[in-house]
Chain A
Amino acid sequence: MTAYLLRRTGQAIVVVIGVMVLTFALIHLAPGSAARATLGTKATAERIAVFNAANGLNRPLAAQFATFVKQAAEGNFGTSYSLHEPVSTLIAQRLPRDAVLLGLSTLLALLVALPMGVYQAVRRGRAGDHMLTVLSFVLYSMPDFFFGLLLVALFSVQLHLLPSQAPQAQSVGGVLADPKALVLPVVTLALVSLASFSRYMRSSAIGVLAQDHVLVARAKGLPEHLVLRRHVLRNALLPVITVLGLAAPAIVTGAVIAESVFNYPGMGLLFYQAATSKDYPILLASTLVVGVATVLGSLLADIAYTLLDPRIRYDRG
């Protein structure tokens, strides 16, 4: 098991290095320079040269990459061209807030989706299953901004129950201190992922329910709730873990639209603005963050898998 995890972590590190190389290459090979984007189309050749020299953009690509890797290792991602602040500071401000919002919504989605999927599998083909299926499809196909606006219109504007804005505090503690304001954004994001999680859970639970060992459990005389909890849930979770692992990076990449609807500037907006203004340092740093999150997500999924499925745990090779 330890050997497996070590090997798996080693693979993850290699992938992260690959991500860095690729991102760096892609950004520098793309047409249009950072200087033009920052200084405008009317900038003179001299000003561009000064900008490039100041930001080290006139050095060979390999040298620039070496610097980038060295500084990244120290947590230094340079200074944003457009916002004139250290990139690390920008990310440190926004990433935790996003992690709170999206982490909470993922958790909420799971807490609802897993029982819902099992319920639908058990009641397969009956009214309850059909209703929830229709609901999932409606949720899944509805754009999240529309959804967010709908909730705001109902709960803030009409009923005055909840604030229309997400918490405006900068710190994680401050955000959590205002739970009422968190409700709408968390629910909005949760409803979207709820739909897909519950569909996965439903189909995998249907598969498990049809297996012989469930019949064996019933023939032992186990009451149905124990059959579901002991012999269905864990087996049905396995395929969902993969989906979760893939969904993990979304927790730190933010959600551009939800962030703007609820006025909650996070990683999503930061990345969007950096992309339009060719703010290389931010682009590089946030691509790296997403890359690492993706790798971590699948690493965590694999670890969860080994914990849940003994067939993998003992399959040492």
Chain B
Amino acid sequence: MPPLLDVRNLTTHIRTGRGTVRAVQDVSFTLEAGETLGLVGESGCGKSMTGLSLLGLLPPGGTLVEGSSVRLDGRELVGLPDRELRTVRGNDIAMVFQDPMTSLDPTKTIGHQVAEPVLLHRGVSRAAARERAVEVLGLVGLPQPRRRLSDYPHQLSGGQRQRALIAMALANEPRVLIADEPTTALDVTIQAQILALLADLRARLGMAMILITHDMGVTAGNTDRVNVMYAGRIAESTGTDRLFSRMRHPYTQRLLASVPRLTQDPALLLPTIPGLPPDLADPPTGCRFADRCPYATARCRAEEPQLDGTAEHRFACWHPVDGPAPAEIGGKVADAVAGAATGGGEGAAATTGLAEGPAAAGTVVRPRAPEPAAAAAPLLEARGLVREYPLRGSWLPGRDRRVVHAVSDVSFTLARGETFGLVGESGCGKTTLGRLLVGLDRPDAGAVTLEGTDIGTLRGGELRRRRRDLQMVFQDPFSSLDPRMRVSAVLREPLRIQGIGTAREQRARVAELMAEVGLPERGLDLFPHEFSGGQRQRVGLARALALTPKVIVADEPVSALDVSVRAQVLNLMKRLQAAHGLSYVVISHDLAVVRHLADRIGVMYLGRLVEVGTAAEVHRRPAHPYTAGLLAAVPVPDPAQERAKRGAGIGGELPDPAAPPSGCRFRTRCPLAQERCAREEPALRSFGPGHTAACHFPLVAPAADSPSDVAAGRP
């Protein structure tokens, strides 16, 4: 009997203005019913295009090259006329896409969109299609599915929308489901729910699944076999357990090593993969990974390795490795700083994205003299911060004043040279808090003080001068740089606004900044779109550094970046901090990132800081059930660990911040909630030095001498 899905020599070319992009090259694999195959790799490695090629959904200019074969149950799909291929799409093979926010038509009801494929392929009546829609919406766990039918996409949360999209894909009980980064746009808590749902549905319906993801943690817990893709080709293909413990391809090894983990020693730099994937319009001869591979030899550059090995484990490499890299491979943060100060070395080399390598770093690092006298007092302090946004129309008479409680009574301190990490699900108010901290927004109550000065009372020129000390790095390196400004202008603008230095000094400073973030000086004449995402984020960091600030608030600084590039930027942030004595507030939904960067962590839930403590403490013995749930939801790149915890984690979704629950705001999702939690709002209690949490029924015993109203977050 032929395999359910048999893909052979799949090769996709896309004609573009720059030439022919070889997006997918010679990809072969099989898939059986009930099995999940992972397609893993960085963006641009061809994993999504492989999924789309299976369905014949190619972008303009795309073609499947002669010799490509996709057989479903022995039936060849390549070369089928479009009319016949359409009967396969959404019927035999269905697809779920990455972004639930944009994957639903905003002008059509959920019912219409879910019933559409049923109506199309099953030839049933409208009423029957609607009934089927109710059925599948229930199957994917959408509450009150019948009422959802007449809802429009914007009335659903992100998690609910992804459920609706999965329902749409499952409506005709396809035999193969292609899930393309189905949880990348979701919070970790919702991600865990959706992944558990997919696994459950696959088992119940006996589907085969292709899970496309860049996340090694997601791969570990949710796949049976994995194809690691690099530059359009399969680099390594084997069972999931074997891949994580006995990988042979250096790319797999490095990719896995560069993932920040909760258990990792933060004093070590993350191992990175230097450079960028090759341009697929002009792929190199020989091994495509050779330029970034530490083991590459002349043979790798001349001769392309074929996918070879046993049936259980195939890989394409001339110099295979044997198992994971040691943790110390990235080197220590302290060494990297020292290395940079003495003129290049590992730190600079590891973090340099362009081939130019270690720019003359020794001449540019300007460590600020430490100020021991002031070290005792906090550098930045937030006291009782409240920020509420009135909903539209609430000023009209006869209406209740409804407000969104974005930030409610948040207090914490930041010491000189310290990193404070803020974590929480999207919508918990962490970005609003970040904006309050740098004075981009003013609190409705409470104050932010920098070295004792309340920045909320500053106006005009005084405020402008003070802004030098508070800078921000944004999440999206694409939209946070003006596309019409050259990088030199982007970096010079802060100096101009602040009137610092002559034109010549400004130019010199800008050149310094480029070297400091590991970009070549010739990059100054380029526009932002000429850089990769990681390089743009380096420009964002350089801009924030231009005024030698005391505090940098980084809002999701690496969320938009690929794993290997993420590691480069995280290392850079650590090196810059050590070199300049910077203080960071790092805002992220990714606990592993925060754990890697932060000295102390604050966990936010619905506008409140529910737990604060040192990173190690919060990780080792979380007191608040929400913290514990968040930690459990983080996917770990370890198959055994991941499978063991399937289904654990926090249920439900973030409540409406305009109508937060009474008492403890987390009680509606808390497994330990009791009647008292609804009645009484828990105060912050001490759980050891510098460790506070607000919970009536904490997971660990509070400190014996704990007064019930310790100041929040003060170490």
A220-B116, A221-B117 given; A310·B87 CB < 8 A: no
> B57–A218 contact, CB under 8 A?
yes
Binary CB contact string for chain A from 299 to 317 against chain B (1 if under 8 A, 0 otherwise)? 0000000001111001111
Closest Cβ neighbor of B112 among chain A residues: A230
CB distance from B570 to the nearest CB of A (A): 29
With A and B bound together, what is the CA distance between A153 and B60 in angstroms?
Answer: 43
Q: Indicate the member of B57, B102, B107, B392 with the most A CB atoms within 10 Å.
A: B107
Closest Cβ neighbor of B109 among chain A residues: A310
> B154–A311 contact, CB under 8 A?
yes
Does residue B104 face the partner (Cβ distance < 8 Å to A)? yes
Query: Which segment of B92-100, B320-328, B694-702 sits at the interface?
Result: B92-100
Does residue A161 face the partner (Cβ distance < 8 Å to B)? no
B58-103: which residues lie under 8 A (CB-CB) from chain A?
60, 83, 86-91, 94-95, 97-99, 102-103
> B154–A213 contact, CB under 8 A?
no
CB distance from A240 to the nearest CB of B (A): 14
Does residue B279 face the partner (Cβ distance < 8 Å to A)? no
A112-150: which residues lie under 8 A (CB-CB) from chain B?
124-125
With A and B bound together, what is the CA distance between A218 and B109 in angstroms?
Answer: 18
CB distance from B108 to the nearest CB of A (A): 7
> B120–A222 contact, CB under 8 A?
yes
A220-B120, A222-B120 given; A213·B105 CB < 8 A: yes
Does residue A47 face the partner (Cβ distance < 8 Å to B)? no
Does residue B246 face the partner (Cβ distance < 8 Å to A)? no
Does residue A216 face the partner (Cβ distance < 8 Å to B)? yes
With A and B bound together, what is the CA distance between A310 and B152 in angstroms?
Answer: 7
With A and B bound together, what is the CA distance between A213 and B392 in angstroms?
Answer: 29
Closest Cβ neighbor of A216 among chain B residues: B103
With A and B bound together, what is the CA distance between A222 and B103 in angstroms?
Answer: 15
CB distance from A84 to the nearest CB of B (A): 51
Closest Cβ neighbor of B56 among chain A residues: A218
Does residue B121 face the partner (Cβ distance < 8 Å to A)? yes
A219-B95, A220-B120, A222-B116 given; A309·B89 CB < 8 A: no
> B57–A223 contact, CB under 8 A?
no
> B107–A309 contact, CB under 8 A?
yes
Closest Cβ neighbor of B87 among chain A residues: A221
Count A interface residues, CB 8 Å: 26
With beta carbons under 8 angstroms apart, the residue of B90, B106, B165 that contacts A221 is: B90
A216-B168, A311-B154 given; A231·B89 CB < 8 A: no
B residues within 8 A CB of A222? 86, 90, 116, 120
A278-317: which residues lie under 8 A (CB-CB) from chain B?
308-311, 314-317
> B88–A212 contact, CB under 8 A?
no
Binary CB contact string for chain B from 132 to 171 against chain A (1 if under 8 A, 0 otherwise)? 0000000000000000000010110000000001001100
With A and B bound together, what is the CA distance between A216 and B105 in angstroms?
Answer: 9
B residues within 8 A CB of A125? 60
A residues within 8 A CB of B109? 310
> B105–A219 contact, CB under 8 A?
no
B residues within 8 A CB of A309? 106-107
A residues within 8 A CB of B55? 219
Does residue B526 face the partner (Cβ distance < 8 Å to A)? no
Does residue B460 face the partner (Cβ distance < 8 Å to A)? no
With A and B bound together, what is the CA distance between A308 and B87 in angstroms?
Answer: 30
B residues within 8 A CB of A315? 392
A149-174: which residues lie under 8 A (CB-CB) from chain B?
none
Binary CB contact string for chain A from 199 to 226 against chain B (1 if under 8 A, 0 otherwise)? 0000000000001110111111111000
Q: Indicate the member of A215, A221, A310 with the most B CB atoms within 10 Å.
A: A221
Does residue A59 face the partner (Cβ distance < 8 Å to B)? no
Binary CB contact string for chain A from 214 to 257 against chain B (1 if under 8 A, 0 otherwise)? 01111111110000001100110000000000000000000000
> B105–A235 contact, CB under 8 A?
yes
> A314–B89 contact, CB under 8 A?
no
Q: Indicate the member of B94, B102, B121 with the most A CB atoms within 10 Å.
A: B102
- Given A213-B102, A222-B116, A310-B152, 16 other A-B residues pairs in contact with their CB atoms under 8 A: A211-B102, A213-B106, A216-B95, A216-B97, A216-B103, A219-B94, A219-B95, A219-B97, A221-B91, A221-B121, A222-B86, A230-B105, A308-B107, A309-B107, A310-B107, A315-B392
The 5 residue pairs across chains A and B that have the minimum distance between CB atoms? A317-B392, A317-B393, A220-B90, A221-B89, A221-B90
Q: Which residues of B contact A (CB under 8 A)?
A: 55, 57, 60, 83, 86-91, 94-95, 97-99, 102-109, 116-117, 120-121, 152, 154-155, 165, 168-169, 391-393
Some 7 contacts from A to B, beta carbons below 8 A apart, are: A221-B87, A222-B90, A222-B120, A230-B108, A235-B105, A310-B107, A314-B155
Q: Which residues of A contact B (CB under 8 A)?
A: 124-125, 211-213, 215-223, 230-231, 234-235, 308-311, 314-317
